Amino acid sequence: MEIIPAIDIIDGKCVRLEQGNYDKVTLYHNEPLEVAKRFQDAGLKRLHLVDLDGAKAGAVKNWKVLESIAGKTSLIIDFGGGIKNQKDVEIVFNSGAALTTVGSIAVKDEEEFTKWLIKFGADKFLLGADVKNEKIAVSGWQETTEVWIYDFIQKYLDHGVKQIFCTDISKDGKMEGPAVDLYKNITSKFPDVFFVASGGVTSLSDLEKLKEIGCKGAIVGKAIYENKISLQDLHLFSIQ
């Protein structure tokens, strides 16, 4: 299972939100590049980079951070937050991302997102599904829809999407463990998808559980910054 460390950006700095709440921000580091270099030095290969300013504004804001990390590390970066039009997608790829992370637009405008899949290639997108009670949430978790997670995944698998990650809002940033039951349901229904769990990972035992139920990857954020899991342990786990 692939370990994907996360860096969330507000005002060019490395932060974390609790349950997507912009009023509950914790600052971890002023220099995201330095954090990314630590991940690389620890032997990790990927990076989940989230533009929280962009997610809130509905337009990519922190592409300079992406450009810096992509230019000065060899990490395979997926970048998301506020991507609402083709110009945003082009900015993300031109700034060095290997994958564009998309969530809200795939819910709100299937026609537009499908055009991107055709133009850039479905394998160039990491589809994000933020979930509350098995329903999709959008716009930086500020809006819950009536779209059922399983229907959402199936629709975009049919469009050729290869990688999907899911965040259970009730778990993210609370250090209470991941939504194992939800992820088990997803991996059992869609065993061939490259499914990435996100939110709530606090320990190596959490990662073991996710691996056992068929997750192909896991995004780890707060547990790293709160020193619950060491980077060395994450690297060793990823190469098992």
Q: What is the pLDDT of residues 117-133, one digit of tens each?
A: 999 999 999 999 989 88
pTM: 0.93
Please pick, among 8, 51, 78, 172, the residue that the annotation labels catalytic.
Answer: 8
Region of residue 227 (left: phi > 0; alpha: psi -120 to 50; beta: else) = left
What token pair was written down for 148? 């059922």
Statement: residue 73 has pLDDT above 80: yes
Per-residue pLDDT band for 239 (boundaries 50, 70, 90) equals confident
Q: Which amino acid is at 10?
A: I
Angle at 47 between CA 42 and CA 51, to 5 degrees: 135
Model confidence over 125-182: pLDDT tens digits? 999 998 988 999 876 556 778 999 999 999 999 999 999 999 888 765 566 789 999 9
Statement: residue 35 has pLDDT above 80: yes
Please confirm, yes or no, whether 181 is among the known catalytic residues. no
Residue 38 φ then ψ, to 5°: -65, -40
Specify the pLDDT at position 60: 95
Please pick, among 51, 78, 130, 206, the residue that the annotation labels catalytic.
Answer: 130
Distance CA 230, CA 181 (A): 26
Mean pLDDT for 229-236 is: 94
Please confirm, yes or no, whether 8 is among the known catalytic residues. yes
Residue 23 φ then ψ, to 5°: -90, -5
Mean pLDDT for 106-123 is: 96
Say which CATH superfamily domain 2-238 falls into: Aldolase class I (3.20.20.70)
Specify the pLDDT at position 175: 64
Ordered by start, the domain boundaries in the chain are 2-238
